[in-house]
Amino acid sequence: MKTRKPTVYFFNILAALVLLVIIPSLCLSAVPLRVNYQGYLTDSTGGPVDTATEPGGTIQIRFSLHDALSVGNELWFEEQAVQVIQGVYSVELGSSTPIPTLDFNSQYYLEIAIDEDASTTFDPGEELTPRQALTSVPYSLNADKVDGMDSGDFAASSHNHSGTEINSGIVAEARIDTAIARSADITSAVSTHAADASVHHTIYTDANAVNAVQTASYITDLQNRIAALEAKLAKVTTDGNNIYRPCNSSINSRICYCTGIDISTRMVMG
């Protein structure tokens, strides 16, 4: 049975939850992911709670982080047996369950639930409302900058560049996109392709090559002969049965008449 409905008041929330205890730890693994938190707990009459009269001298409290003032997603939680003296208690959030490496670039909210009836379970209605928005202390606002430069001005530790952006220096192997073929990949591919036994990969002998060159030479010679013949035929006229051509002894004065020449079989004229 419920014995009290405590109310919690927050002292200055010890430098507003000292969020900067968390932020540096994202970069320096040696810094523990813990946050000091101090609160003031009262009962339903407004009097301070004192666990000296409680079994074990503590009260069970559940702490959790959320991404919304109400509902939303629970990002982390832990339960602690907390000693409360004259309403005051102090805890280290993350001491039993490490706080995850949240980016803290978004607003987060702390929710507290009190195990009022010492049942070791947290029932609906035992959470204190509203959730508390996490805030930063004044100097922590500079944590978003390095020497006055915004964090967005710096490149991520892992990022890509296009080939056009690289104009000097040496790019480390680990920085080169895996989609880009390496020299070893190309050499292997060429070797594999050259070993292909397909017809278009047939390797010719020296004799085959010489023969191909000679054949090409014969074809060129034949083409030259045909061109010479066509040049001679261009000077010849015919009436269907006889061929007429200029006589060598004449200078455009007369035309020699050559008879008995079958133009279907006698094509070359001297």
3-class secondary structure per residue, the chain: CCCCCCEEEECCHHHHCCHHHCHHHHCCCCCCCCEEEEEEEECCCCCECCHHHCHHHCEEEEEEEECCCCCCCEEEEEEEEECCECCEEEEEECCCCCCCCCCCCCCCEEEEEECCCCCCCCCCCCECCCCEECCCCHHHHHHHEECCEEHHHCCCCCCCCCHHHCCCCCCCHHHCCCCCCCHHHHHHHHHHHHCCCCHHHCCCCHHHHHHHHHHHHHHHHHHHHHHHHHHHHCCCEECCCCEEEECCCCCCCCEEEECCCCCCCCCCCC
Report residue 14's pLDDT band, with 50, 70 and 90 as the boundaries: very low
**Is residue 259 domain-shared with residue 136, that is, in the same domain?**
no
**Is residue 116 domain-shared with residue 225, that is, in the same domain?**
no
The reply to whether 100 falls in a domain is: yes
Question: Which residues form the domain of 209?
Answer: 205-232
- pLDDT at position 243: 56
Residue 100: CB partners within 8 Å, gap ≥ 6? Answer: 33, 75, 76
**Is residue 121 domain-shared with residue 214, that is, in the same domain?**
no
Q: Choose between 38 and 148: higher pLDDT.
A: 38
Lowest mean pLDDT among 16-30, 80-94, 112-126, 134-148: 16-30
**Is residue 209 domain-shared with residue 256, that is, in the same domain?**
no
**How many Å apart are CA 223 and CA 147, to the nearest integer?**
82
The reply to whether 188 falls in a domain is: no
- pLDDT at position 202: 63
The reply to whether 197 falls in a domain is: no
Q: How many domains does the chain have?
A: 3
- pLDDT at position 120: 86
- pLDDT at position 244: 55
The reply to whether 19 falls in a domain is: yes
* Domain finish residue from 146, 166, 191: 146
Report residue 240's pLDDT band, with 50, 70 and 90 as the boundaries: low
Contact 137, 18 (CB under 8 A): yes
Highest mean pLDDT, choosing among 66-80, 158-172, 177-191, 192-206: 66-80
The reply to whether 258 falls in a domain is: yes
Q: Choose between 184 and 84: higher pLDDT.
A: 84
**Is residue 211 domain-shared with residue 267, that is, in the same domain?**
no
Residue 175 has pLDDT above 90, yes or no: no
**Is residue 14 domain-shared with residue 120, that is, in the same domain?**
yes
**Is residue 120 domain-shared with residue 211, that is, in the same domain?**
no
pTM of the model: 0.48
